[in-house]
Structure 1
Amino acid sequence: MDNIVITGYGIKAPGALSKESFKRILEEGICTQSVLEGRGPNESSVIAGLIEDDFLHIKERNYKRYPRSTRLALAAANDAVEMANLSCDPYKVAVIMGTSAGAILEIEQYSTVALNLKKYPVQGVSLVDTHTLSATVAEHIGLRGPAFTITTGCTASLDTILLAKLLLESGQVEACIVGGTDSPLGQWSINGFSKTRSITSNVSIEQTGVPFSNEHHGFVLSEGAGVLVLEREENALKRGKSVYGRIQNVLSKNEGRPILKSDETGQEMLSLYKDTLGEALPCYVNSQALGLHTNDRIEGFIHKELFQHSIPITSIKGMMGHSFAAMGAIQIISSLISMEYGFIPPTIKTSGRGFEELPIVYKTIYQPVQAVSVTNHGNSGNNACILLTK
């Protein structure tokens, strides 16, 4: 089978609206998180990853009535298509987008008027139809090929790559636009994760969303979008396109657990990770670790079982928080930048207390990077891993 490669990408994340700004954040280990005053329990403050731009107008079109998560995806897709210089038959390009929260901001906003016909917005039905995300990206770019929306939670953007790889290998399409987007910073999400004690209120930015630390608890809610263009390597090279990375392997499996539960032993994730890597070894692990004890402990467990703590491991979550379905694509883009410029980004905000055996990257390491593995997992959902090579 022909190799599947990445020929373009776009990112919209806190503090990172371009490849250049994202590279600077990664290389210098910059935290881009903010304080949301009065949004936590009893009007407490919470830490979040915010994007300042509203993206109401994209390429001179007004997208005011579209969900914020869709607007983020459109802006990222524009950058990805431009970087890839995509020029395929529009009927032979698939759009596969992932999301976890969908239009939750807008659903929350209009929930109080949903039973009032006069006040109900004309786009109300579309807000609850999550597939309008992929359909809108396809329409915006001018594509007529397959369009799918994946809603597998935090692994959704890796799952879009899995489906795209199958479509490309089978010859059904010539290119795929894939990725994830989420904008979950509404009261619904904040209250929900406060209820499950997954986020912490009334703390400083340095005290929460700390990967690999037994001294801190809670992750940082973030919004963002990451979009990639995938093609078969032979076709990309024939057209003289730049290739930023190769999808060596990508796998996804479901744990079959009840809602709000996950396999705390780490065995499910370990099995998936083994199957993803085979005999290959990454130069480093771009980890799911986000500051939740169960998730981070599983990351440490599988690292010891597979690598005996011999491979560097890092997490970018301390810089920009966790943006749900977008995070896998954002981790991939960070890995592509890492491979292109030859450095491993640091894990910031943590001293590694309780994870002393892990070879955590605390300061930027400059070295050639030929392969990176990315891990994603979420409660009562999928585990997903991908191995990227240069």
Structure 2
Amino acid sequence: MENIVVTGMGVQVPGARHISAFKDLLWQKERPLQLVKNIGTKKNPHLVMGVIDGPILEGQQFKRHSRVSKLAVAAASEAVKIAGLKKDDQRRLSVIFGTSVAGLTELEQLSTLAASHDFRNYPISGVSDGNIGSVSLAVGTYLQANHLQLVLGNTCTASTDAIALGKQLLEQNLTDVCVVGGAEAPINRTLVYAFSKMKALSTEQDIKLAGMPFSRSDKGFVISEGAGALVLERESDARHRGAAPLGRIQESYSNHDNLSILESDKTGEKMSIVLENICREYKPDYISSQALGLMENDIIEAIAHKHCFSADTPITTIKGLIGHTFAASGVIQAIAAIISMQEEFIPATVGTDMNGFEHVPVVLENWKKLVQSVAITSHGFGGSNTGLLLTREYEL
């Protein structure tokens, strides 16, 4: 099948509102997290979270957009600009975005109006806020996409799955250009209470210690908002229009634990199968792990790495730096991987003391290295697993 390449990328994360700022953030390792007051429970009212500061897409055309839709459009806009796509391009342009939370933050705010039967003040945007499809529709409308506009809601693997689906559609000639990605605006009390019940959130008040990946010292993760987008094309089409590929989506693979909507496969077997299928005979230069400070997930990552690779294959995660962006996390990992191939370094795992994970070859300092391939792991709430192998624009 023809190679599927990345020709554009865009990002919105705490501390980085565009690709060049994200490059600096990955290299400088300064955690852009902050302590949000009175968002949590009575026992833990203040939580460290990843918040994107400043306005996002102001103007009348975005007046009724939810925050998650604005983040998605902002990331997609940058990706299309970098890709050099023209508005008069007549090819079939599709949008595939992932989100698990969608407009829940706005709906939470509107729930008091509904509960009090305040019909007069209830906004018409309540319709779009409650529709998960609004995320891709917002991006599609902004880009004037003339083909498929899809949203995947399968939890934290959704943007990774969007990349995999876009690759498959392009390989089968079912579309011509895919803008794929994910977006989340998950900072709300509904999610905080739910994950607090599960004892899954970091309650550490010190930003430097909160949400430690690959560590038993802090057993929870940091909620973060964010968005990322990639432009995918067939390599022949990209080169025909003079676009230089930024990287290649070499392989993808997905499976599911099928245990419970609240449980994952603790043996690491299913994640090991994903890694085996995306890497095959290749040995990636490093693993971009979903490890986020949630003990169960991080242990699965360590088990899968031990099963599939030797100790000289490094592993790292960006979750200690920016927090966990739920369904947007996979595409943001992919963007970080492409940056690492461009800039020739492996980004360090920030904010870990390695307590209990001393045997795992975690990258603790930025490592200058020619990077030709990166394996990406992604887990979803309830047991979904997806992996990607990204390579430079030439064959391995």
Question: What TM-score, normalized to structure 2?
Answer: 0.95
Q: Which consecutive unaligned segments of at least 5 residues does structure 2 have?
A: none
Matched, 1:377 2:376: no
2:92 is aligned to 92
Q: Distance in 2 between matches of 1:177 and 1:164?
A: 8
CA contact (8 A) 1:56 1:62 kept: no
1:38 is aligned to 38
Q: How many residues align?
A: 388
RMSD, matched Cα: 1.3
1:200 is aligned to 202
User: What is the SS of the residue equivalent to 2:208?
Assistant: helix
1:24 is aligned to 24
Q: Distance in 1 between matches of 2:45 and 2:141?
A: 41
Give identity over the alignment, percent.
Answer: 40
User: What is the SS of the residue equivalent to 1:83?
Assistant: helix
Amino acid aligned to 2:191: S
CA contact (8 A) 1:314 1:347 kept: yes
Q: Distance in 2 between matches of 1:279 and 1:105?
A: 44
Q: Distance in 2 between matches of 1:281 and 1:153?
A: 28
| 1:251 Cα deviation after fit | 1.4
- Residues 13-162 of structure 1 correspond to what in structure 2 (within 5 A)? 13-42=13-42, 44-57=45-58, 61-87=60-86, 89-90=89-90, 92-114=92-114, 115-162=117-164
User: What is the SS of the residue equivalent to 1:168?
Assistant: helix
CA contact (8 A) 2:91 2:177 kept: no
Q: Distance in 1 between matches of 2:83 and 2:381?
A: 34
2:347 is aligned to 345
Amino acid aligned to 2:84: N
Q: Distance in 2 between matches of 1:202 and 1:286?
A: 25
Q: Distance in 1 between matches of 2:128 and 2:37?
A: 31
Q: CA-to-partner distance for each residue in 1:139-184, whole Å, 9 max, x for gaps?
A: 1111111111000110000111111111111112111000000000
CA contact (8 A) 2:211 2:293 kept: yes
| 1:320 Cα deviation after fit | 0.5
1:311 is aligned to 313
- Residues 283-298 of structure 1 correspond to what in structure 2 (within 5 A)? 283-298=285-300
| 1:376 Cα deviation after fit | 0.5
Q: Distance in 2 between matches of 1:324 and 1:168?
A: 26
Q: Distance in 2 between matches of 1:190 and 1:322?
A: 13
Q: Distance in 1 between matches of 2:202 and 2:218?
A: 9
Q: Distance in 2 between matches of 1:91 and 1:308?
A: 44
| 1:202 Cα deviation after fit | 5.0
| 1:359 Cα deviation after fit | 1.1
Amino acid aligned to 1:276: I
User: What is the SS of the residue equivalent to 2:105?
Assistant: helix
Q: In terms of mean alpha carbon deviation, does 226-235 or 25-34 score higher?
A: 25-34
2:186 is aligned to 184
2:233 is aligned to 231
Q: Distance in 1 between matches of 2:377 and 2:217?
A: 23
- Residues 202-281 of structure 1 correspond to what in structure 2 (within 5 A)? 203-281=205-283
Amino acid aligned to 1:47: V
Q: In terms of mean alpha carbon deviation, does 112-121 or 102-111 score higher?
A: 112-121
Q: Distance in 2 between matches of 1:309 and 1:365?
A: 16
| 1:61 Cα deviation after fit | 4.5
The one of 170, 173, 177 equivalent to 1:171 is 173
User: What is the SS of the residue equivalent to 1:27?
Assistant: helix
| 1:189 Cα deviation after fit | 1.1
CA contact (8 A) 2:8 2:231 kept: yes
User: What is the SS of the residue equivalent to 2:390?
Assistant: strand
